[in-house]
Amino acid sequence: MPEPEEQRVQQLVGHLFRHEAGKMAAVLTRLLGFGGLDLAEDIVQDTLLKAMSVWRFKGIPENPSAWLYTVAKRKAIDTLRQQQLHNLHHSEISVALKSEWTLAPTVNHLFLDNEIEDSQLRMIFACCHPSIPFEAQLALTLKTLCGLSVGEIANSFLTNEETITKRLYRAREKIREERISLEAPVPANLPGRLDAVLQSLYLLFNEGYNSSHPDQLIRHDLCAEAMRLCLLLVNNAMTRAPETSALLALMCFQASRADARLRDDGNIILLKDQDRSQWNKALIEKGKFYLEQAAEGERFTEYHIEAAIAGCHSRAASFAETAWDDIEHLYTLLLNMKDSPIIALNRAIAIRYSVSPAAGLEALLAINALSQHYLYHAALGDVYVELKEFEAARSCYALAKTLTPSMAEKKLLQLKIDTLTSTTV
């Protein structure tokens, strides 16, 4: 097979892994029980490897997703026939699976679109079981349902891969030890789990919007998957809550700017330089709709505030007309609600525009927890430029460049260094 075709197969399988692996794992885990999570993931992996092998020689099928589901179903049926796993099955389907006459129809039924969505919701909430430590819940959801790598999850938590690996191991041990089942929580238990579910989707979207992948600043597939799962929650009566709508509003506002953030050559376009006519107006309107929907209740969460901040940007006709006073106030509210160095960083940037560069610098220097984060040093460099402290700015940009894995970010930082050099020579 010609090399370009092999590359096309690899890219397609990678794309399908992002979009379909979580769905298949959710359905298979509903069949095998939550204790069979490892086995479900093995079946998904085998299916994707088979696709890679078969498609190289026979060509890509007309409907690649349908091909994957057909193979996964067959593997699931074979597994259930070969192994005595009935004691792991969820109660509502265990009887059907015990009979050879009903086994295949039951598996086929669970692979219907509406059942896949139901299985995904069950899987999300099962991963966020209260017996599992909160941060391990998030890591498990991002790994199992969303398909993020350990490195990507570590980036989301501002930690290292070893820490995430340990969290995932402990989560799986807890599932085995306590025989946690894949059940939908009763309404009374929902709020405790919903927080972790929404935080997982928030982290997934962020990884897509500002990816840790060296060659892709924006991972549109991850953003789309986070929005799809969040929409499932909004459309489900049990999970429709003000904070769910607020999170979806935030995603819509942020995603509306995606096409304006990069040039054709992959170089970054900063917010102040973006062509706002390229912002997706339909997504902005959806953001407004879901934010209004989020106001229909008494709960006021961090997602409400972040969506309001994103809404401020979407309403501004230009960067100069941005309501920076409002944004600073909102970030102050958010910081009081959730003590986070990233929120403090964004608040300091808002102070830079709402008050003065000197005030922004003071706020930035008061942050102690981001010495190894490139965005912090890049923000410092920008403020130093405005204050005409060019040597300090150059040092900050150089340090930021060593700390980011993103080639697009490295190019932008080098451009800033080169611009400084040409203006100060």
Tokens of 257: 């700017």
Residue 355 pLDDT greater than 50, yes or no: yes
Give the pLDDT band (50/70/90) at residue 92: very low
pLDDT for the residue numbered 118: 64
Given a contact cutoff of 8 angstroms between Cβ atoms, the answer to whether 290 and 246 are in contact is: yes
Give the pLDDT band (50/70/90) at residue 72: confident
Angle between helices 161-178 and 37-58 (to 10 degrees): 120
Give the dihedral sign, CA 251/254/256/262: negative
pTM (predicted TM-score): 0.76
Given a contact cutoff of 8 angstroms between Cβ atoms, the answer to whether 250 and 312 are in contact is: no
pLDDT for the residue numbered 393: 96
pLDDT for the residue numbered 148: 78
CA distance 50 to 174: 31
pLDDT for the residue numbered 35: 63
Given a contact cutoff of 8 angstroms between Cβ atoms, the answer to whether 72 and 28 are in contact is: yes
Residue 109 pLDDT greater than 50, yes or no: no
Average pLDDT over the chain, rounded to an integer: 83
**Mean pLDDT of all residues in 90-111:** 46
Tokens of 357: 């560069």
Question: Who's near 244: CB < 8 A, 6+ residues apart?
Answer: 194, 198, 230, 233, 234
pLDDT for the residue numbered 126: 78
Cβ-based neighbour number of residue 265 at 10 Å: 7
Give the residue, 49 or 243, on which the prediction is more confident: 243
Classified as helix, coil or strand, 268 is strand
Q: How buried is residue 355: exposed, middle or buried, by Cβ count under 10 Å (0-12/13-18/19+)? A: middle
pLDDT for the residue numbered 403: 94
Question: Who's near 62: CB < 8 A, 6+ residues apart?
Answer: none
Name 268's bridge partners: 262
Angle between helices 341-354 and 357-365 (to 10 degrees): 160
Cβ-based neighbour number of residue 58 at 10 Å: 9
Place of tokens 């025989």: 179
